[in-house]
Structure formats: structure tokens, C-alpha cells
Homo-oligomer: A and B are copies of this chain.
Amino acid sequence: MPEDETLTVGNLGESGLLARILPRLRGAEPLLGPGDDAALISAPGGAFVFTVDTLVENQDFRLHWPSGFESSGYDVGWKSAAQNLSDVNAMGAYATAAVISLTLPHHTPVKWVEDLAEGFSAAVRELGAVHCAIAGGDLGRGTELSITAALTGAVVTGKVILRSGAKPGDIIAVSGVLGQAAAGLALLDSAVPVKDWSECMERLVYAQRRPQPPLLAGPAAAAAGATAMMDLSDGLLKDGRRLAIASAVRLEFERDALIKDAEKLESMAARLGKDPFEWVLGGGEDHGLLATFPPEAEIPSGFRPVGVVLRREAGDTHEAVTLDGEPPEVTSGYDHFEG
């Protein structure tokens, strides 16, 4: 690795770069700072959650896919809303407001931008974020299309659910689909042309284009006493590992509990020569929830158990995440600065 003077962001991974930036962000103390799905802010009227996320063309979305599919502004607007709403959901909160900042190249069709606004609004309404105002934003020119949304949220139960609260003996549960968005992404990226897509294939691509974060599940998990929770944006294993490390525990997933998720992807995986379990374990962007509940808790509807939380001692040779007791073979997951 080069010396500090010549070090570029391409030389560091996302986490390495964050480790350089975060200590330099020094303002008033938030109740909860960086490192969870959203921050928690102290304000005169009570604490609120706060999150921001940017989608950049050709990094976080494509307009033109190898399969010939064309992403609409509606799709991109929907995705921007969905992933930010999911971050609020993962804290056990509900969204109160969104602001949007758009950077638009000169040649962007006005119709595409109108569609983006429609898609963002539709996600807010159709995903059930009924208290979320879309309060305006900022508009600017650039050479690269990007959309940033920032959302605030209110805490239902009086406390937010962090990644760090999982305890040995807790039940691991997930809400929402697993691997469907990844399967859809693989198809979009494939040589299978759009005109040959079956209804099942369309459905998987739809899961990628229009993620469906289960917005009732976050507050319901908080009310049911969830000990830890996070958004599934980068894949079950990668996100699970983050939760396990934040909580200093091991997450033991049961393959049997995930078989149904994989079965739904089997024909598609066969067609593309893939292992459906890779999508279930490693695929991101479904924006479901990963949560842990005390053994005595009643797991709320919409969640299904997928494993248990185990003790992890210092120097434990086990991985932070295991599958049927073994280190999982799939370790991939998304990193913005990899490669």
C-alpha cells in the first residue's frame, strides 16, 4: 500500500476509508453516531433517527443492462426511497420525512426525471410509509446521474434497535425475501434477452428493480422486544457478520431454514449455471430485516426463524457467522470500493 501522501480511495476499502473519516467528524454528540443503519439524534422534542444514501449511475444502478433491459427513472426513484426507508425500518422507527438531491447531466430526459419523482413517491405510498413527507430538496448539474435521499424517522417504542444487542440464546429471524434481488441482478447482467424472460424471471427482476422492505416489521420487532436488528442490503452473511461483530456473538444460521428461499430460485439458477444458495446467503438489495429475539419473545408475524445466537469468546476460532456449525463457503457481499 502506498504512503499516506499518495494513498487514494481506490487503495482503501470502504471500511478503511470510513476509519479515516469518522474520527474527523466532530460536532455535538449524537445519541448514536455512525455504524448502525441510521443515527439517533437528540432534539428538543425528542430523539429521531436520521439516514442518507446515494445512488450513482453505473455504480448503484444501470440505465442499460447487458440483457437489453432499460431501467426507468421510476425504478431508480423507487429504489432510492426503498433503501432509505429500509434503514429507518431497521432501527424500529417509521419515516417522517425525506429530502432528495438530484445531480443531472445536461442530456437527461425531463421525462426520466419526472418518472424518478413518481417512482420515489410511489414507493413511499405503496410500501406504507404513510407518515413520510417528501419535503423537497436540491437540484444541480453534473456529468454523472445521481440521487441522494436523506430521511428522518420517529421511534415508536421509545427506543431504537441497534446491531449490537444480540445475546447468546436469542433466536435469529428474518423478514422479507432473500436472494431474489440478487437473482434478478444476475439475470439483468446476463445474455438472456428481455424478450425471452418468463413470468418467473420478470418477477425476480422486479424484486431487484423495486425492493419491498417490510415497513411494518421494523416497528413490530421493536415492540416485540428485538435485541438487535439491521437492514439486509449487502447479503445475509455479510450483514450477519456485521451484526455478530457489533454484538460480540456468533450467528449460527440453519441451512434447512433457508431451503425454501433457495428453492424459489432453483430454476433461474439452473438456467444461469449458478448455485441458488449463493444468492440466498450472499445476495444483497432485498432490504428485508435481520433481527434477534430473546427465546421467550413472541416473534412477530412477517418474521421467520433462521438460526440462533451463540456465545463467542475472545480468541474463538469460529467465524462470527456459521452455517450448520461450519464457516460458510459463500463470503461475498458488496463493497463500494472493492475491485
Min CB–CB distance A239 → chain B (angstroms): 16
Interface residues of A in 42-60 (CB under 8 A from B): 42-48, 50-54, 56, 58-60
Contact B135 A33 (CB under 8 A): yes
A118 at the interface (CB under 8 A from B): yes
A108–B117 Cα gap in the complex (Å)?
A: 31
Contact B101 A33 (CB under 8 A): no
In the complex, what residues of B have CB within 8 A of residue A141's CB?
9, 56, 59, 336-337
In the complex, what residues of B have CB within 8 A of residue A110's CB?
4, 7-9, 11-12, 17, 20
A154 at the interface (CB under 8 A from B): yes
A47–B133 Cα gap in the complex (Å)?
A: 12
Contact A52 B129 (CB under 8 A): no
Set B7, B50, B107, B144: member contacting A109, Cβ < 8 A = B7
Min CB–CB distance A184 → chain B (angstroms): 21
Min CB–CB distance A62 → chain B (angstroms): 14
Interface residues of A in 114-162 (CB under 8 A from B): 114, 117-118, 120-121, 124-125, 129-144, 146, 148, 150, 152, 154
Number of interface residues of A (CB under 8 A): 91
In the complex, what residues of B have CB within 8 A of residue A113's CB?
9, 17, 20-21
Set B109, B121, B150: member contacting A99, Cβ < 8 A = B150
A295 at the interface (CB under 8 A from B): no
A103 at the interface (CB under 8 A from B): yes
Name which residue of chain B comes closest to A59, CB basis: B141
A212–B142 Cα gap in the complex (Å)?
A: 26
Contact A124 B27 (CB under 8 A): yes
A28 at the interface (CB under 8 A from B): yes
In the complex, what residues of B have CB within 8 A of residue A130's CB?
28
A106 at the interface (CB under 8 A from B): yes
**With A44-B154, A97-B41 as given contacts, are A118 and B56 in contact (CB-CB < 8 Å)?**
no
Contact B101 A136 (CB under 8 A): no
Set B21, B42, B131: member contacting A28, Cβ < 8 A = B131
A98–B26 Cα gap in the complex (Å)?
A: 11
**With A138-B52, A150-B150 as given contacts, are A43 and B41 in contact (CB-CB < 8 Å)?**
no
Interface string of A202-244 (1 = CB under 8 A from B): 0000000000000000000000000000000000000000000
Contact A52 B140 (CB under 8 A): no
In the complex, what residues of B have CB within 8 A of residue A117's CB?
21-22, 24-25
A35 at the interface (CB under 8 A from B): yes
A139–B337 Cα gap in the complex (Å)?
A: 9
A30 at the interface (CB under 8 A from B): yes
A109–B10 Cα gap in the complex (Å)?
A: 9
A263 at the interface (CB under 8 A from B): no
**With A46-B44, A46-B45, A108-B9 as given contacts, are A142 and B29 in contact (CB-CB < 8 Å)?**
no
12 A-B residue pairs with Cβ-Cβ distance under 8 Å, sorted by A, are A7-B109, A7-B110, A9-B104, A12-B110, A21-B113, A24-B117, A30-B135, A41-B96, A41-B133, A52-B137, A144-B144, A148-B148
Given contacts A27-B134, A28-B130, 9 further A-B contacts (CB under 8 A): A9-B108, A43-B152, A46-B46, A54-B103, A59-B141, A141-B337, A142-B146, A144-B144, A150-B150
Shortest Cβ-Cβ A-B pairs, 3 listed: A45-B45, A34-B136, A45-B46
